[in-house]
């Protein structure tokens, strides 16, 4: 049985009731609160995968991929082969889910000691600033890790669409891992080998309700992802994602049917620091609600990962130690206000 949920008010309810954000949501000074919009790199995945695209085009796109991931740590993926209709469908069922009455959503509520389910993130310390968002977090892979009782049956199509999305995301993540290896002149399976066929994948449906104080409240605080790869489906209408690069924040534009790929810390580790895990955050809007769907792909927590030895040499000595369960390291560091990647640096 699921344990009872300790729940203060959901952010969505506070937003609907027009509540002032409570003090624990307030950030005194958000650095660079209204950053410029910028174009981040666009990568056409069909050029990376298809054997039909001319060799020179493939090589060029692999070069672009390496360039994007070693500077921005993210890019907009087009040519991913997932239809616009399907992307709109998963957006639609997400919107329908968050549109349900609180009691109905609570059927899928997160238990006190669990991460999975609907609600807020577990609170890690007393002085933590809260995020102006509610989320539904669900394991996707391995299949036996799925807690189906937390998968909404309302809207009725939700489970079926999420299962299909999961298959597509797994395929895309594997394609990306191979392409990244090739872009670094490595054997294409070298990253996947570190996964030892034990990949983990989870989805996070984010709901950012409109907020009366966007100048002092964030949808998600600045963070880097603890995954290896994150694939994000942004809201089609409402911006919010911002990326930190070269000591500057930038707004990420919306390309309606592109998927935003960003690296997580585990890929920065495996690439010996050549590819970057970008710091990012989400702003709030006083006018519009925003929904996004993030899928995190990573090696199983028991698998040992380390920098690929072919990326270690005299000029670039090994930057990170060998480790398992980066998720737990990330969690503990976040709790004590430390940067997780620094704690595994050699």
By CB under 6 A, name the binding residues for ligand OGA: 204, 206, 220, 225, 232, 234, 240-241, 280, 282, 292, 294
Judge contact between 196 and 230, C-beta under 8 A.
no
Binding partner of residue 282 among Ni ion, ligand OGA, none, CB under 5 to 8 Å per kind? ligand OGA
**In the bound complex, which residue of the shown chain has the CB atom lying closest to ligand OGA?**
292
Residue written as tokens 């007393």?
126
61 vs 225, beta carbon nearer ligand OGA: 225
Q: Are β-strands 248-251 and 229-233 bridged in parallel, bridged antiparallel, or unpaired?
A: unpaired
- How many degrees, rounded to 5, is the angle at CA 77 between CA 50 and CA 235? 145
Judge contact between 183 and 271, C-beta under 8 A.
no
121 vs 174, beta carbon nearer Ni ion: 121
42 vs 312, beta carbon nearer ligand OGA: 42
Task: Tell me how far apart the terminal alpha carbons of the chain are, to the nearest angstrom.
Answer: 44
Least CB distance from residue 227 to ligand OGA, whole Å? 8
37 vs 59, beta carbon nearer ligand OGA: 37
**In the bound complex, which residue of the shown chain has the CB atom lying closest to Ni ion?**
225
Residues lying near Ni ion in the complex (CB under 5 A): 225
Three-state secondary structure call for residue 45: helix
Judge contact between 212 and 286, C-beta under 8 A.
yes
61 vs 118, beta carbon nearer ligand OGA: 118
Number of H helices, E strands in the chain: 10, 12
Least CB distance from residue 129 to Ni ion, whole Å? 16
Least CB distance from residue 127 to ligand OGA, whole Å? 21
Least CB distance from residue 290 to Ni ion, whole Å? 14
């Amino acid at each position: 049985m699921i344990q009872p949920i300790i729940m203060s008010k959901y952010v969505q309810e506070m937003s609907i009731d027009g509540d002032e954000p409570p003090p624990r949501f307030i950030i005194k000074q958000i650095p660079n609160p209204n950053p410029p919009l910028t174009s981040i790199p666009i990568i056409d995945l069909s050029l990376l995968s298809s054997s039909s695209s001319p060799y020179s085009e493939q090589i060029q796109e692999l070069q672009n991929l390496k360039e994007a991931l070693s500077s921005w740590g993210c890019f907009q993926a087009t040519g991913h082969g997932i239809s616009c209709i399907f992307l709109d469908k998963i957006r639609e069922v997400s919107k329908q889910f968050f549109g349900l009455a609180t009691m109905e959503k609570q059927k899928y509520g997160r238990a006190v000691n669990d991460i999975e389910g609907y609600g807020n993130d577990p609170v890690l310390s007393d002085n933590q600033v809260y995020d102006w968002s509610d989320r539904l977090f669900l394991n996707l892979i391995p299949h036996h890790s799925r807690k189906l009782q937390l998968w909404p049956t309302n809207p009725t199509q939700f489970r079926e669409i999420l299962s299909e999305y999961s298959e597509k995301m797994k395929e895309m993540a594997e394609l990306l891992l191979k392409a990244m290896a090739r872009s670094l002149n490595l054997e294409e399976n070298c990253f996947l080998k570190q996964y030892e066929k034990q990949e983990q994948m989870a989805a996070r449906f984010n709901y950012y309700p409109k907020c009366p104080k966007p100048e002092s409240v964030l949808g998600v605080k600045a963070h880097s992802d603890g995954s290896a790869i994150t694939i994000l489906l942004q809201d089609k209408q409402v911006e919010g994602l911002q990326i930190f690069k070269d000591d500057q924040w930038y707004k990420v534009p919306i390309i309606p049917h592109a998927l935003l790929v960003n690296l997580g810390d585990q890929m920065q580790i495996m690439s010996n620091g050549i590819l970057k895990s970008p710091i990012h955050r989400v702003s709030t809007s006083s006018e519009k609600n925003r929904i996004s769907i993030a899928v995190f792909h990573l090696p199983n927590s028991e698998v040992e990962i380390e920098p690929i030895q072919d990326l270690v040499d005299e000029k670039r000595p090994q930057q990170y130690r060998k480790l398992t369960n980066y998720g737990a390291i990330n969690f503990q560091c976040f709790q004590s206000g430390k940067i997780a990647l620094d704690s595994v640096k050699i």
